[in-house]
């Protein structure tokens, strides 16, 4: 098996990741999985919000730049089931 050299950039990334995990109090696989679920949730929510902004042509609370009759009609909680839970 060929051993790859770790670049200084990669070493710094690992160091930052370990610091993040320590600050978050994550010390087992279950904690990492929960953190990953939260990250996926945040990315999906932000992506969907951005898609809505693009579709409507204005961002949330920016009614002054609204140039359409279409609007945001409220918010309701939704559940998305993934392989992560």
- List, as one string, the DSSP characters of 38-72: HHHHHHHHHHHHHHHHHHHTS-TT-GGG--SS---
Whether 29 is in a domain gets the answer: no
26-62 pLDDT, tens digit each: 989 999 888 888 888 899 889 988 998 888 888 777 7
DSSP state for residue 18 in the 8-state scheme: H
Q: Which residue has the tokens 């579709």?
A: 55
Instruction: Between 37 and 67, name the one with better pLDDT.
Output: 37
Dihedral (CA of 68, 69, 74, 76) sign: negative
Whether 40 is in a domain gets the answer: yes
Tally of domains within the chain: 1
Whether 45 is in a domain gets the answer: yes
Give the domain extent around 53: 34-60
- Non-local (6+) Cβ contacts of 33 within 8 A are 84
The pTM for the full model equals 0.62
Whether 19 is in a domain gets the answer: no
Whether 77 is in a domain gets the answer: no
């Amino acid at each position: 098996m060929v051993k790859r050299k770790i670049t200084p950039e990669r070493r710094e990334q690992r160091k930052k990741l370990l610091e993040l995990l320590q600050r978050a109090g994550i010390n087992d696989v279950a904690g990492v999985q929960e953190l990953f679920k939260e990250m996926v949730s945040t990315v999906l929510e932000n992506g969907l919000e951005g898609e809505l902004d693009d579709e409507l042509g204005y961002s949330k609370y920016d009614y002054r730049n609204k140039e359409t009759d279409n609007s945001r009609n409220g918010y309701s909680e939704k559940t998305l089931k993934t392989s992560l839970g």
